[in-house]
A = this chain, B = another copy of it.
């Protein structure tokens, strides 16, 4: 359905009108499941971002409501996610120390900037910018982020004061302080890791084996992290772990934050501009690809430009409620979808659930070991590491692989932003390099047809007076000089040559530089007594050529098809 008027920018007007009791009960069930999953995740990702744990809860209330109003996906679960949390830590780590008020304020500002950028991209239809992040770059970045995050959390599992932003720094930090490992912390961390892996890999079949309904068994496995949180809070008070050197989350201020606009410091805005843009783009790409996959399963559509506005609104909502950058999460959205969420109302109900948890459960969280959250993060992010994708790209294309490898190595060893920027820059440069040396084939007629193919790959008919060259690329500044050189090479040593036909079905554009080169080629061939012809020139290219003098100056003709060209120039139909 084409959306128009207010419903174009407020999708809630569309689905809200048809909301009924069946949808309500589906959405409520999904909301309960997602809430249970989101409580430990939001605490853990805030910690990963270098923020107090409660900031994760704040980022899981208003943003979900804002996305519900403006977003076009029925099932996307918005909130704190691992990769964006890592990028937040990396961006603000340069500017302020963790634990300071400046750090928290910078996170709010980052969310605000990201929100404004996303909305601006949505309003000005600039979503295509995200296309410059190629699949291999994104997939490499996610894999590298997973590894980096997992490594960065080891210090909490060991209870040591290591630090560092890159893999080298992290391992140097771990190696330097591993002697200070805290036994009780390690015990908590390893227990939680073991428990979570057991739940993830083994629990469901066991529960189903005991006769439990698969759906309920599924729900219980999603509750693993919450059970780990509850269990380790209980263990903390039972064994007085806080006194034994186990780092705890500590007191969380009661209640919900009062909405407020983050302070606008120009200096800070300048420093955060590039990270905010990268967070916006990566967050958008990830979110849209989840949303698209889920929408396709139910034959629904999402509108990318409106998604930008939805995610932008969510980030602005996060900024004014003391949160930090958010986006659509992969695992959580899949759970939301599987749990039967029908509309964005499910996300709104989740927001209510998180608000309730913030109001009533935070006193309990003071006793939560940080090692529990670190273990939760490790288990979650290791599933982001996709070795199969690396192998597939390696097999398919070494060029794509090199962009992927640059992203992975850059992210791991030079930093998160450097990794993404290096990957994007390399993929663009390699694309330009490839198109600057286009494939050119001498073609001949496939006998019995009007079709022409490469003489080196097919058994075709040619004639010594006519050379047909197919150029497999748009002609533009980066390859126009190469074209001149190649044609000079291909026409040399052919004394009987009278006609050169440039077959142009793959020439999608001819820019001003290439036009000058074609004029030069026409001129040089003319001086050598060879006539230049074109065939199968596309409509838009022909329209443009008509605006120049080239067609008047061309020594030969422009033919509709290569077959007609060869028929006419050879004076007989080819064999």
A interface residue numbers (CB < 8 A to B): 128, 131-137, 296, 392-393, 395-397, 399-400, 427-428, 431-439, 441, 446, 449-451, 453-454, 457, 472-474, 476-482, 505-509, 511-513, 515-516, 524, 538-540, 544, 547-548, 560-561, 563-564
Q: Contact check: which of B432, B511, B539 meets A454 at CB < 8 Å?
A: B539
Q: How many angstroms between the C-alpha atoms of A507 and B136 in the bound complex?
A: 20
> Is there contact, CB below 8 Å, between A513 and B561?
no
Cα distance, A392 to B436, chains bound together (Å): 24
Contact across chains for A477 and B427 when beta carbons are under 8 A apart? yes
Which residue in B395, B428, B482, B512 is a CB contact (below 8 Å) of A131?
Answer: B482
Closest to A437 in B: B128
Among candidates B450, B479, B511, B538, residue contacting A397 with C-beta atoms closer than 8 Å: B511
Query: What separation, in Å, do the CA atoms of A136 and B512 have in the docked complex?
Result: 7
Closest beta carbon of chain B to A427's beta carbon, Å: 6
* Given A450-B451, A539-B457, A511 and B134 contact (CB-CB distance below 8 Å): yes
Closest to A508 in B: B472
Extra inter-chain contacts (13) besides given A128-B482, A441-B539, CB under 8 Å: A128-B433, A132-B477, A134-B511, A135-B477, A137-B477, A393-B512, A427-B477, A428-B432, A439-B540, A446-B560, A449-B450, A450-B451, A473-B474
Residues of the B chain whose Cβ atoms lie less than 8 Å from the Cβ of A476: 134, 431
Nearest B residue to A524 via CB reads B296
CB distance from A366 to the nearest CB of B (A): 46
Q: Which of A457, A538, A547 has the most CB of B within 10 A?
A: A538
Complex contact A561–B449 (CB within 8 A): yes
CB contacts (< 8 Å) of A516 on chain B: these are 135
Q: Is the CB of B131 within 8 A of A400?
A: no
Tell me the bound Cα distance from A128 to B479 in angstroms. Answer: 9
Q: Which residues of B contact A134 (CB under 8 A)?
A: 476-478, 511-513
Work out how many copies of this chain go into the complex: 2
Bound-complex Cα distance A451 to B439 (A): 23
B131 in contact with A481 (CB, 8 Å): yes
Contact of A560 among B128, B451, B473, B563 (CB under 8 A): B451
What separation, in Å, do the CA atoms of A457 and B506 have in the docked complex? 18
Give complex CA distance A264, B396 in Å: 46
User: Which residues of chain B are near A560, meaning CB under 8 Å?
Assistant: 446, 451, 453
Tell me, rounded to whole Å, the shortest Cβ–Cβ distance linking A527 to chain B.
Answer: 8
Given contacts A396-B515, A512-B396, A560-B446, contact A131 B480 (CB under 8 A): yes
Give the shortest distance, in Å, between A470 (CB) and chain B (any CB). 9
Would you give the shortest CB distance from A337 to chain B, in whole angstroms?
Answer: 17
Known: A134-B477, A477-B131. A439 touches B547 (CB 8 A): no
A344 and B506 alpha carbons, distance in the complex (Å): 42
A560, B454: Cα distance in complex, Å: 12
In the complex, the answer to whether A505 meets B508 with C-beta atoms within 8 Å is no
Q: Within the assembled complex, what's the spacing in Å between the Cα atoms of A512 and B479?
A: 23
Tell me the minimal C-beta distance from A357 to chain B in angstroms. Answer: 37
Contacts of A432 on B, CB cut-off 8 Å? 132, 428, 431
For the complex, give the distance between the alpha carbons of A448 and B481 in Å: 38
| Smallest beta-carbon distance A257→chain B, Å | 37
Q: Which residues of B sit under 8 angstroms from A563, Cβ to Cβ?
A: 449-451
Chain B residues near A513: list those with CB within 8 A. Answer: 134-136, 400
> B512 and A397: CB pair below 8 A?
yes
Residues on B with beta carbons closer than 8 Å to the beta carbon of A392: 512, 548
Chain B residues positioned under 8 Å from A479 (CB to CB): 131
- When chains A and B are docked, how far (Å) is the Cα of A476 from the Cα of B132? 10
Which residue, of A457, A476, A477, has the highest number of chain B Cβ atoms within 10 A? A477
A401 to chain B, nearest CB (A): 8
Specify the chain B residue showing the minimal Cβ separation from A127: B481
- What's the minimum C-beta distance from A235 to chain B, rounded to whole angstroms? 45
B133, B396, B441: which contacts A544 (Cβ < 8 A)?
Answer: B396
Q: Is the CB of A474 within 8 A of B131?
A: no
For A506, what are the chain B residues with a Cβ–Cβ distance below 8 Å?
505-508, 538
Please give the distance in Å from A433's CB to the nearest CB on chain B.
8
Query: By the criterion CB–CB under 8 Å, are A474 and B435 in contact?
Result: yes
Query: Contact at B477–A395, with CB atoms within 8 Å?
Result: no
A435 to B128, CA, bound (A): 12
A132's nearest neighbour on chain B, judged by CB, is: B478
Q: How far is the CA of A439 from the CA of B396 in the complex (A)?
A: 26
Give the CA-CA distance A563 to B448 in the complex, in Å: 13
| A133 CB contacts on chain B under 8 angstroms | 477
Residues of chain B with a CB closer than 8 A to A137's CB: 477
A393 surroundings in chain B (CB, below 8 A): 512
- Structural contact, B509 and A434, CB atoms closer than 8 A: yes
Most buried by B among A134, A434, A435, A473: A134
The answer to whether A436 touches B131 (Cβ under 8 A) is yes
A438:B508 contact, CB within 8 angstroms: yes
Separation of A428 and B428 alpha carbons in the complex (Å): 10
Q: How far is the CA of A276 from the CA of B513 in the complex (A)?
A: 25
CA distance A392 to B563 in the complex (A): 33
**Whose C-beta in chain B lies nearest to the C-beta of A539?**
B457
Beta-carbon nearest neighbor of A457 in chain B: B539
Closest chain B residue to A476, Cβ basis: B431
Residues of the B chain whose Cβ atoms lie less than 8 Å from the Cβ of A132: 432, 436, 477-478
Nearest CB on B from A296, distance (A): 6
